[in-house]
Amino acid sequence: MNVGVIGSGYVGLVAGACFAESGNEVVCADIDEDKIASLNRGEIPIYEPGLDRLIENNIKGDRLMFTTDIPLAVRGSEVIFIAVGTPQDEDGSADLQYVLKVAENIGKNMNGPKIVVNKSTVPVGTAELVAAEIRKHTDLPFDVVSNPEFLKEGSAIDDFMKPDRVVIGTSSVEAAEIMRELYSPFVRTNNPILVMDNQSAEVTKYAANSLLATRVTFMNEIANLCEQVGADVSQVRKGVGTDSRLGPSFLFPGVGYGGSCFPKDVRALVKTGETKGVNMSIIKSVDLANNRQKSRIVEKAIKHFGGEANIKGKVFGVWGLAFKPNTDDMREAPSLTIINSLVELGATIQAYDPEAVEVAKELLKDSSASVSFCDNSYEAAQGADALLIITEWNEFRRPNFNKVTEALNDPVIFDGRNLFEPSKMNRLGFKYYSIGRAPVGS
C-alpha cells in the first residue's frame, strides 16, 4: 500500500518506519527543510531505541523516503496520515492550526479518492473540522479516519509493532477495511482492532492518557500520606497492585509525570469539558497535584539543610534529566522544575543524563552560570553536597556506592524514583530520602 505521513516528528517517524517495515511504500513529508535533510543523511532528530536502524533499513529497501514536497506525498498515497504537533494553546486547549494546514494542503493536492487519517492527538470534533477544510478545496471523494496513537517513549517500536489494540474511528465500511488491512501485520496475535465512530476514537486517546496520569498522581499522593503516617509506599503499592481489578502498572510513586502527552492531554481534556459545560474536576485535580509533586524533592532538600537560606552555595549532583528513561524528551520534565527551583535559591547544579544533555543545555541556557553538565554519573556527584536522582535510567540502579560516597562531600541522596532499599542505604552510611518511605540516616 502507498502511505503518506505528513509530519516527521516523534509519531510520524515511528509510524512511517513501522509501516515501511511491514512492506508498504511510505513517504514522510515535512516542511522543516533542515529536519528532512538530516533524515536523508541518516541523522535521526530524536532518541528512540531501534528507530535509527529501522529507518536505515527501510531507506535502503526503497520502502521509505523523506521529502519536503507535501503535494508529492499527497498525490502518491492512498492513505495519508496527519502526524503534526498539536501544542497546548494559552487556554489549555489543543492548537489545531498545523492539523488544519495539512488538511488544506491535502484538499488542494488530491488527485483521486483518499483516506485521511488523524494520527495527531486531537480533541473531539477534529475529524469534522479536517473534513470541512478538505471539502473547501476539492470535490473528490475522501474519508477522514481517527486513529489515535498509544506509543510510550522508549518502547515506541514495540508498541507500534505489537499494539494492545488499534483504534479506528470512521463511519465508512470501506475505509475501516483498508485500515484493517494496513494494520493486519501488527495484530497477528489477535489483539483487537476496534472500529468505532470518530468522536469515540478521539475521546479514547484523551481518556486513556488521563486515566494513566490519574494513577500516577494518585499513588504520589498516597506516597505523601505514607511519609506522614509511617507507612511504606512500596508495600502499599504491592498491596494495591496485586488486586486483579487494578493491576500494578503506573503505580510507582515519584517526582511527577512530564513529557509530551500526559500534561498536554490532561489539560486539553479539561478544556474540552469546559467548552461543553462539563466540569472535569478529577482531571483538574490531577494536573494541580502533579505540579505540586515536582517540588517534593526540593522541599525535602530544604528541610534537610535547615531552610531555604541554607541552600545558597550548595552543590547538587543530578542524575537524570529526561522526563523518563530511554528518551531525550524533556518537555515538562520534573528535572526542569527541580533544577530551576534550586538555582533560584542560590544552588549550583552538576547534571548528567545518558541522552538528554544537549536538549537540557538549550532549555536551561538561562541558568547556564549555575548549571554544568557532566560526562558520567560519578562526575556529577563529585564535590556535591547531595545527590538527586530524578530519572530512573538503568545505569543508576546499581552504582558503585563506594565511588558515590567518595565523590560526595556528604553522603546524602534524595531519590525521586525509589531506586534503592532504605535498609541497604542505612547500612552503607547514607542519609537517604525517597518518596513515600521513611528517611534513613538523617
Residue spans of the domains in the chain: they are: 2-196, 206-291, 294-433
Single-letter code of the amino acid located at 269: L
Question: In three state form, how does the secondary structure of 258-299 look?
Answer: CCCCHHHHHHHHHHHHHHCCCCCHHHHHHHHHHHHHCCHHHH
3-state secondary structure of 393: coil
Q: Which of 18, 28, 226, 261 is catalytic?
A: 261
- Would you call 320 helix, strand, or coil by DSSP? coil
Residue 87 has pLDDT above 90, yes or no: no
Whether domain 2-196 has CATH 3.10.150.10: no
pLDDT, one tens digit per residue, over 384-435 is 999 999 999 999 999 999 999 999 999 999 999 999 999 999 999 999 999 9
Mean pLDDT of 16-22: 96
Percent of the chain with pLDDT over 70: 100
CA 256 to chain centre: 13
What cell does 431 get? 542519609
- 261 has catalytic annotation: yes
Coil/strand/helix, residue 41 = coil
**Band of pLDDT at residue 246, cut at 50, 70 and 90:** very high
Confidence at residue 145, expressed as pLDDT on a 0 to 100 scale: 97
At 26, which helix (H) or strand (E)? strand 25-29
Question: What is the residue-averaged pLDDT of the chain?
Answer: 95
Residues 6+ apart with CB under 8 A from 177: none
pTM, entire model: 0.91
CA–CA separation, 291 vs 295, rounded Å? Answer: 7
Band the pLDDT of 93: cuts 50, 70, 90.
confident
pLDDT surpassing 80 at residue 442: no
- pLDDT tens readout for residues 178-197: 999 999 999 988 899 999 99
Question: DSSP 3-state assignment of 231?
Answer: coil
Task: Give the model's pLDDT for residue 85.
Answer: 87
CATH superfamily of 206-291: N-(1-d-carboxylethyl)-l-norvaline Dehydrogenase; domain 2 (1.10.1040.10)
Domains 2-196 and 294-433 share a fold: yes
- pLDDT value at 108 more than 80: yes
Q: What is the pLDDT of residue 170?
A: 97
What are the residues facing 414 on neighbouring strands?
388, 433
pLDDT at 91: 76
Q: Which CATH superfamily is domain 294-433 in?
A: NAD(P)-binding Rossmann-like Domain (3.40.50.720)
**Cβ 293 vs Cβ 332: under 8 Å:** no
Distance in angstroms (rounded) separating the CA atoms of residues 226 and 323: 24
pLDDT band at 253 (very low <50, low <70, confident <90, very high): very high
